[in-house]
Amino acid sequence: MRTRVVVTGLGVVAPNGNDPQEFERSLREGRSGVGANLSMEEFKFACRVAAVPQRTDEIAAEMFGEDELMAMNSSHRYCSIASIQAWQDAGLERPDPEGDEVDWDTGAFLGTGVGGMDTMGERVVPFTDGGRVRRLGSTAVEQVMASGISARVSGQLALGNQVTTNSSACSTGAEAIAEGAARIRAGLAQRMLCGGAEGASHYIWAGFDAMRVLCRNFNDAPEQASRPMSASAAGFVPGAGAGVVMLENLDSALERGARIYAEVLGAAVNCGGHRGGGSMTAPNPEGVVRCIRSALADAGVDPSEIDFINGHLTATGADPKEIASWSRALGRGAENFPPITSTKSMIGHTLGAAGAIESVATILMLSGGFIHPSINCVDRHPEIEAFSASIPDNALDLPNARTAIKAGFGFGDVNSSLVFRKFEDA
Amino acid sequence: MTEDDALERVVKILTPHVRNEEALANVSAETNILDDLKVNSARLVDVVLAFEDEFDIEIPDEDVDSVNTVGDCVKLIVGKAN
């Protein structure tokens, strides 16, 4: 029988909650984490709203020493906080930083979409251009190397299995979970910390603003700016944060009596090959449909068993196409379409962290028996009018929901899909 | 600037990087920065930059190579500053 993979710990640093409990409360209440952004205003962005986690420097100062904090930019901080949370939530103790013990059976897939752009923009570029390379000190490399976030966490937790950083744009966070689950199934690791992080920096967001894909119509009403599936959706709101899940071999979880939130029943990742309407910036619908179906097949789940969907749904023109792909992949028309929600309606698009934070949301919804509202969808997009009843405007109790599906789609025409099941019995 | 004054300021700059609190509590001119205080060797680069800022001096890379103890730092700094 195939090795079963379960979720035994959750960690999250989101724009509307700095731990799973606060995040769940915000999700239930439909609380937005989007706010006005002074840097975007100062530097004349068209979009001047962003979704940024709050009070994270204080939290980081309680968790990490001064020496380490000096080398931790925003993505390092978010990723480290969420990873330590997930670790402790899984019932594990933080190891002695001066001890020699290494946990050879636990590794990490902690991805990022863009990486340490704040360090690049604030230090590397101005210091280098100013002829002051020497003044960069020793901490620039570890903050701009793509694998910096996973490397950071491996030191904090003495991880000795595979530790790496994946990157597949906005598919990154969900891909990390898929890859971690695969490693455990292959018998190569007992536990994997999986997820993604994205820093908060106008340097990360500038290129998206130039592409005109960020929302510029709601600068005076930040909480209304992220409007997935609405007719007035005018682009995504850039976000930041981290989501991390502790994946564990079921036998290991049972043996140590760990609390089990959910099972990763199935996973799939693929690429649309930039064909059939796909491109660097748009998904090939065939790739999306295949990815969702592959995850269902991997899970051994019939599409009729899906109780709700947490979509990618960024609040761009791609939302109606995504709904059409879900409908085709599941073979379920508007008349029997499951509830579908967008966590991005509250936290914006956290890029490389999105799939991970939204997976944490999905797991919290499954274990808590509810679906969070997809806020600001007051005017359904005309193309998805028929699916209107499936979009929750308020939190709904779903006590009997057992199976949920999450997907993430990224620039580069890459896709990932995860099927989670509420954990009932071994 | 006296050596005592410099020692106090050197220790303050080293403190966030120290991983052996006991050695820090008993710090003296003979204390070895890497072996006793367990400062990560990569961070010496940042320590030297902080010395330059604190004492308004320049410390060429070749001078750094001969620094092993807290006392070596003090001597180097006092020599440059005076």
Q: What is the pLDDT of residues A354-364, one digit of tens each?
A: 999 999 999 99
**Which residue of chain A has the CA closest to B44?**
A138
> What is the helix (H) or strand (E) element at residue A268, kind and residue range?
strand A262-271
Q: Specify whether the CB–CB gap between A409 and A322 falls below 8 A.
A: yes
Q: Which of A264, A244, A247 is nearest to A189 (CA)?
A: A247
- Domain boundary, last residue among A221, A255, A289: A255
- List residues in chain B touching A: CB distance below 8 A: 16-19, 38, 40, 42-46, 49
Residue of A70, A98, A134 lying closest to B19 (CB–CB): A98
A215 is catalytic: no
Averaged pLDDT of chain A: 97
Per-residue model confidence as pLDDT tens digits over A119-147: 999 999 999 999 999 999 999 999 999 99
Longest dimension (CA), chain B: 32
* Structural domains counted in chain A: 2
User: With the CA atoms of A241, A245, A246 and A247 taken in that order, what torsion angle do they form, in degrees rounded to the nearest 10?
Assistant: -140
Q: What is the CA angle A85-A169-A35, rounded to 5?
A: 65
Give the model's pLDDT for residue A426: 60
ipTM of the complex: 0.91
Summarised one tens digit per residue, pLDDT across range A267-277 is: 999 999 999 99
Nearest to A228 by CA among A311, A167, A168: A311
In this complex, the residue of B18, B44, B46 whose CB is nearest that of residue A139 is: B46
The reply to whether residue B16 touches residue A65, judged by beta carbons under 8 angstroms, is: yes
Residues A151, A152, A155, A161, Cα dihedral to 10°: -30
Q: Specify the pLDDT at position B69.
A: 97
* One domain for residues A21 and A79: yes
Same domain (yes/no): A288, A248: no
Where among A206, A225, A255 does a domain terminate?
A255
Same domain, A24 and A105: yes
Q: Is residue A262 part of a domain?
A: no
Q: Which of A66, A134, A135 sits opposite B16 (nearest CB)?
A: A66
Residue A1 has pLDDT above 90, yes or no: no
A237 and A312 in a single domain? The answer is: no
Same domain, A24 and A137: yes
Same domain, A165 and A303: no
Question: How far apart are the C-alpha atoms of A371 and A59, rounded to whole Å?
Answer: 28
Model pLDDT, residue B1: 85
A70 interface with B at CB cutoff 8 Å: yes
| pLDDT computed for residue A328 by the predictor | 98
Is residue A118's pLDDT more than 70?
A: yes
Domain containing A167 equals: 5-255
Residues A251 and A316 in one domain: no
pTM of the predicted model as reported, rounded to 2 decimal places = 0.97
Is the domain of A215 the same as that of A356? no
Label residue A425 by pLDDT band (50, 70, 90): confident
Q: Which residues contact A177 (CB under 8 A, 6 or more apart)?
A: A109, A194, A195, A245, A247, A264, A267, A355, A356, A359, A418
Asked if A37 and A74 sit in the same domain, the reply is yes
Structural domain contains residue A261: no
Determine the Cα–Cα distance for residues A25 and A78; give it in Å rounded to an integer. 20
**Based on the domain organization, do A146 and A294 belong to the same domain?**
no
A200 and A100 housed in the same domain: yes
pLDDT at A275: 98
- Of A220, A255, A290, the one marking the end of a domain is A255
Which residues in chain A touch residue B49, judged by CB atoms under 8 angstroms apart? 134-135, 137
- A137 in B contact zone (CB under 8 Å): yes
**What are the chain A neighbours of B43 within 8 Å (beta carbons)?**
67, 138
Q: Choose, from A47, A170, A194, A215, the residue flagged as catalytic.
A: A170
Pick from A89, A367, A421, A354: which is nearest to A245 by CA?
Answer: A89
With an 8 Å Cβ cutoff, are B17 and A67 in contact?
yes
CA distance A358 to A408: 9
pLDDT band for position A424 (cuts 50, 70, 90) = confident
Contact A67/B49, CB-based, under 8 Å? Answer: no
Helix residue ranges per DSSP H, A18-55: 20-29, 38-42
Distance from CA of B33 to the nearest CA of A (A): 15
Q: Collect the ranges in chain B with pLDDT lower than 50.
A: none
Q: Which residues of A touch B42 (CB under 8 A)?
A: 138
Residue A211 domain-assigned? yes
Other C-beta atoms lying within 10 Å of the C-beta of residue A231: 15
Q: Is A66 on the interface with B (CB under 8 A)?
A: yes
Is residue A349 among the annotated active site residues?
Answer: yes
CATH number for the domain including A183? Answer: 3.40.47.10
The pLDDT value recorded for residue A86 is 99
The shortest C-alpha distance from B49 to chain A (Å) reads 7
Q: List Cβ<8 Å contacts ≥24 apart for A162-167.
A: A162/A107, A162/A108, A162/A109, A162/A188, A162/A189, A162/A192, A163/A107, A163/A108, A164/A107, A164/A108, A164/A109, A165/A109, A165/A110, A165/A111, A165/A112, A166/A109, A166/A111, A167/A111, A167/A112, A167/A113, A167/A115, A167/A352
The Cα A84–Cα A61 span in angstroms is 13
d(CA A142, CA A122): 15
Work out the minimum CA distance from A69 to partner chain B, whole angstroms. 10
Indicate if A274 belongs to the active site: no
In single-letter form, the type of residue at position A246 comes to: M
For residue range A185-223, list pLDDT tens digits in order.
999 999 999 999 999 999 999 999 999 999 999 999 999
**Contact B46/A138, CB-based, under 8 Å?**
yes
End-to-end CA, chain B: 7
If you measure CA to CA, which chain B residue comes closest to A132?
Answer: B49
**Taking the domain B3-81, which CATH number applies?**
1.10.1200.10
A54, A96: one domain: yes
